[in-house]
Amino acid sequence: MNTARAIAHSNIALVKYWGKRAAVPGQVDDLNLPAVGSLSMTLADLRTETVVGPGDSDSFSLNGEPIADSMAVKVFRHLDRIWTATGESRERPTCRVDSVNHLPTAAGLASSASGFAALTLAGAHALGLQADTSALSTLARRGSGSAARSLWGGFVRLDRGQLANGSDCRARPVFPADHWQVRLLIVHTTRGKKAVGSTAGMEESRQTSPYYAPWVDSSEADLGAAEAAIANRDLSRIGTIMEHSMFKMHACMLATRPPILYWNGVTLEVIRALWAARQGGLEAYATSDAGPHVKVLCAAESAPEVEATLRRVAGVIDIQAVRPGPDATVEILS
Ligand code: PMV
């Protein structure tokens, strides 16, 4: 077995996914197929670096701390998937996995996207799996849906697919990072971890939210429109689609029983301040995920002014302006 190091960048969906489709309806399975497609922007700077190599026993560290909880279980279950894909009949060799998150973990900033993408890439190279990026992305999806999108830089689309075995549920790059000089401002509204994990939340929404079916039914149209808007570098068009996709997803979450509310008061104040600035001619659009932070899309040249405006909102802790990020990379260390 080799030791391999991978770096994968996080991504934020401009058109969101929320919900799983199962091979057997009603049964969440290991394929982890999304109920709707999604389209994301990969983020520069926000990334996970993971080294996978041989170890005396399975061990996992995150940011230098040994981890033995459910997160470690997920990591080794994922290495098992990679090992199964190699077709080897022997038991998987025990592995040492060391990850460093250059972003907050489990705070709705897509650490699972960069985390599972980096783990897939490093794990595949360490365990000797010969697979192209598309196949690796399909494997990454089984760890976390959004991770399927983090194998590539720029703008990436994950199609829902129709087949029960998930073979047509694939991510693909649609535009490279240098296609468009936009910025995504990550507006931090708290330091804490998120309350409800996305997998559990999605299943609760599927079972109880009256808005789940309309959410699923209406999202395909957003995807096509969003891809066309990015192709034309049309900020007001992509911004409008992006905000609508986000509010539909949160409406579906809010109508879940019990309700799933990821926002805090500052989240809403940031969105209001953004809308007020937009009324005044500053073009910027909001999205938010399974957490209280707001991500704001704008042109590179207006990013400083948008940032200054949002820093004035009481409760905003920090703002990072991020450009479209690169492809994931891997190197064999030994
Ligand atoms: O598959 P997960 O657990 O990474 O869920 C991602 C869900 C959202 O971030 C809310 C939306 C998305 O498409 O990234």
Q: What's the pLDDT tens digit per position in 191-250?
A: 877 667 888 999 999 999 999 999 999 999 999 999 999 999 999 999 999 999 999 999
275 vs 293: CA distance, rounded Å: 16
Which residue minimizes the CA distance to atom 1 of ligand 1? 145
What's the gap in Å between 145 CA and the centre of ligand 1? Answer: 6
Q: Are 184 and 41 in contact (CB under 8 A)?
A: yes
Q: 38 CB less than 6 Å from ligand 1?
A: yes
What's the gap in Å between 159 CA and the centre of ligand 1? Answer: 14
Beta bridge mates, 59: 96
User: pLDDT tens for residues 253-307?
Assistant: 999 999 999 999 999 999 999 999 999 999 999 999 999 999 999 999 999 999 9
Nearest Cα to Cα of residue 53 among 94, 10, 21: 94
Q: 219 CB less than 6 Å from ligand 1?
A: no
User: pLDDT tens for residues 38-85?
Assistant: 999 999 999 999 999 999 999 999 999 999 999 999 999 999 999 999
Torsion from C-alpha of 161, 70, 330, 320, nearest 10 degrees? 90
Q: Are 297 and 183 in contact (CB under 8 A)?
A: yes
| pLDDT given at position 88 | 95
Contacts 24+ apart (CB under 8 A), 299-306: 299/181, 299/182, 299/183, 299/235, 300/181, 300/182, 300/183, 301/181, 303/183, 303/185, 306/185, 306/274, 306/277, 306/282
Which residue minimizes the CA distance to atom 9 of ligand 1? 289
Q: 32 CB less than 6 Å from ligand 1?
A: no
Q: Residues 64, 66, 70, 73: is their CA dihedral positive or negative?
A: positive
Q: Are 145 and 34 in contact (CB under 8 A)?
A: yes
Give the pLDDT band (50/70/90) at residue 126: very high
Which atom of ligand 1 is found nearest the CA of 147?
4
Q: Residues 185, 71, 136, 24: is their CA dihedral positive or negative?
A: negative
Share of the chain above pLDDT 70, in %: 96
223 vs 214: CA distance, rounded Å: 15
Longest dimension (CA), the chain: 64
Q: 113 CB less than 6 Å from ligand 1?
A: yes
Q: 198 CB less than 6 Å from ligand 1?
A: yes
Tell which one of 78, 120, 137, 289 to mutate to probe ligand 1, the residue whose CB is within 8 A of the most ligand atoms: 289
Q: Are 14 and 245 in contact (CB under 8 A)?
A: yes
| pLDDT given at position 28 | 67
